Amino acid sequence: MADSPRARRLAGRIRQIVASYLETQVKDPRLGMVTITDVRMTGDLHDASIFYTVYGGEAERADSAAAIEAARGQMRTEVGRQTGVKFTPTLTFFLDVLPESAKHIDDLLAVARQADAEVERVRAGARPAGDPDPYRKPRDADADPGADPGADAGADAGASVDVPAAHAAAVDAAAVDALVADTGEL
């Protein structure tokens, strides 16, 4: 579609004219419930592609396509009369596949929802593979096998943990004091 404002305005006007003409002027009994979904113009404004949908099945679509094709010349005359352009564009009608594409996407989403529900159902009663607590605590080699692994940590282990932490704090404080003494800034 040409992106010029004039082509967009003309396409909108053709859409109104054709929709109104199909609704009020075409008396063909084959014409079903037709909706004009889009009109696209070429850059030179000589061709108009008109997309439509039909409510119903394949038989209704085929009958409506035949009725629209039979009335195409009359619709072009009406478009030329109501738009007043120098060259009346040729009208080409295309059955819009958007509703079928949307239905196909809806079907795919329904299948995905069903697969998700099946996974959720299977997952509801499942237990994790392996131990419930995968993070085991290390055991001492000299501890007896029946003892609790966390129970044999004595006072010496607590002191050895506190000493390096206190030492690290003292080293950090000494480093800060040395830095302040060298630069004079904190």
Residue 67 has pLDDT above 50, yes or no: yes
Q: CA 14 to CA 31: how far, in whole Å?
A: 19
Q: CA 97 to CA 78: how far, in whole Å?
A: 27
Residue 48 has pLDDT above 50, yes or no: yes
The conformation of residue 141, written as its DSSP 8-state character, comes to T
Residue 96: pLDDT band by 50, 70, 90 thresholds?
Answer: confident
Phi/psi of residue 173, nearest 5 degrees:
-65, -40
Name which of 12-21, 40-49, 73-82, 134-143 the model is least confident about. Answer: 134-143
pLDDT of residue 49: 94
pLDDT tens profile 108-158: 999 999 999 998 888 887 877 777 677 877 777 665 555 555 554 444 444
pLDDT above 90 coverage of the chain, percent: 37
Residue 94: pLDDT band by 50, 70, 90 thresholds?
Answer: very high
Taking alpha carbons only, the member of 148, 37, 55 closest to residue 94 is 37
| Domains of the chain in sequence order | 5-99 (3.30.300.20)
Name which of 42-46, 66-70, 87-91, 138-142 the model is least confident about. Answer: 138-142
Residue 52 has pLDDT above 90, yes or no: yes
Residue 185 has pLDDT above 90, yes or no: no
